[in-house]
Amino acid sequence: MTASEPSDVAARPIHVTETLVAGVALGSIPADWDADRAVTELYTTHYRSLVRLAALLVRDIGTAEEVVQDSFVAMHGGWRRLRDSEKALSYLRQSVVNRSRSVLRHRVVVDRNAPKPPPDMPSAEHGAIALLERSAVIAALRTLPARQREALVLRFYGDMSEAQIAEAMEISKGAVKSHTARAMATLRTVLERDA
């Protein structure tokens, strides 16, 4: 697999509100903006894409919204430290990834200890998850480890560079390459086997 060059990002048909890269859809936020105004601007531009990113990670729309809202609240509290659109969006991405990881970790614990529901009673999240996993590719994506799934989602949905993925996942660029390559190999194997 070869990583696409950053110049390819602009050539891809991506909706302007879907991007997670700062500076493409949102101009640089002036430093003298207060936190409320910055949150409003970033919400208008990036909220939807961030919720979709979180939904791909946590496989639950409601939880994804809560994750993103918590991230915005945290960004509001740390706005004096950020004071920049690039930093703010980077902070939001990183916060969403970390909080999604925490949600998955907590969900594993809850599923381990919670009593199993009857088989004929679908859970409340079943509809949303089934909606997301209608595609075979998404279903195969679910079988991947969390780090590999994060790397693929950030790479192929967020259209981030390896440096941005490394920053969001708080790992090195080499680890990003490794996770992406392993995830693609596993995904290819699963899809070929199912086909």
Partner 1 sequence: MSEAFGPEAALRRALHAAAEQVEPGDDGLEKIRARVSHRRPMPLPVAWVDIALTRLALRVPDGFWTIWDRMAHEVRAVVEHFLPERIRSDRLRLGWLRPVAAMGTAVFIVAAVVYMAVEVPQVIAPAGSEATQLHNGGSGQHAGGGTGPGGQPYTQPGSKPTSFPGPSLGAPNASACPSRKTSPRGTITSSPPASSSPSPTPSPTTTSPSSSSSPSPSPSDTDSSAPTGSGTSPSGAADPGNSAADAARGGQTLTRAESLLQAAAGARAQTATTSPSPSPCPSSKPSPTSTVKVHPDAAGGLVLWAQGAGLGPADIPAGLG
Based on the shown chain and the rule CB under 8 A, indicate whether residue 48 belongs to the binding site for partner 1: yes
CA 38 to chain centre: 21
Can you list the alpha helix ranges (DSSP code H) found in 59-84? 61-77, 79-82
Residue whose CB is less far from partner 1, 86 or 107: 86
Task: Centre a 10 Å sphere on the Cβ of residue 62 and count the other Cβ atoms it contains.
Answer: 12
* Burial label, 38 (beta-carbon count in 10 A; 0-12, 13-18, 19+): buried
Q: Is the dihedral of CA 89, 46, 63, 157 positive or negative?
A: negative
Count of residues that bind partner 1 according to CB under 8 A:
50
Nearest to 78 by CA among 63, 94, 62: 94
Position among 27, 36, 37, 122 found at the interface with partner 1 (CB under 8 A): 36
Query: What would the two tokens of residue 79 be?
Result: 């706005």
Type of residue at 21: V
Position among 26, 29, 38, 55 found at the interface with partner 1 (CB under 8 A): 55
Does residue 66 come out as left (phi exceeding 0), alpha (psi in the -120 to 50 range) or beta? alpha
The count of residues in the chain is: 195
Contact predicate 26/50, CB 8 Å:
no
Provide the minimum distance between the beta carbon of 188 and partner 1 in the complex, in angstroms, as a whole number: 5
Residue whose CB is less far from partner 1, 70 or 107: 70
Based on the shown chain and the rule CB under 8 A, indicate whether residue 22 belongs to the binding site for partner 1: no
* Per-residue mark of binding to partner 1, 73-112 (x: CB under 8 A): x--xx--x--x-----------------------------
Query: What would the two tokens of residue 1 be?
Result: 């697999």
Residues 129-188 that bind partner 1 (CB under 8 A): 131-135, 137-138, 141, 152-153, 156-157, 163, 167, 170, 184, 187-188
Position among 17, 23, 28, 31 found at the interface with partner 1 (CB under 8 A): 31
Residue whose CB is less far from partner 1, 80 or 112: 80
Residue whose CB is less far from partner 1, 122 or 127: 127
Q: What CA–CA distance (Å, rounded) separates 104 from 1?
A: 28
**Where does this chain bind partner 1 (CB under 8 A)?**
1-2, 4, 8, 12, 18, 31-32, 36, 39-40, 43, 47-48, 51-53, 55-56, 61, 64-65, 68-70, 72-73, 76-77, 80, 83, 131-135, 137-138, 141, 152-153, 156-157, 163, 167, 170, 184, 187-188, 191
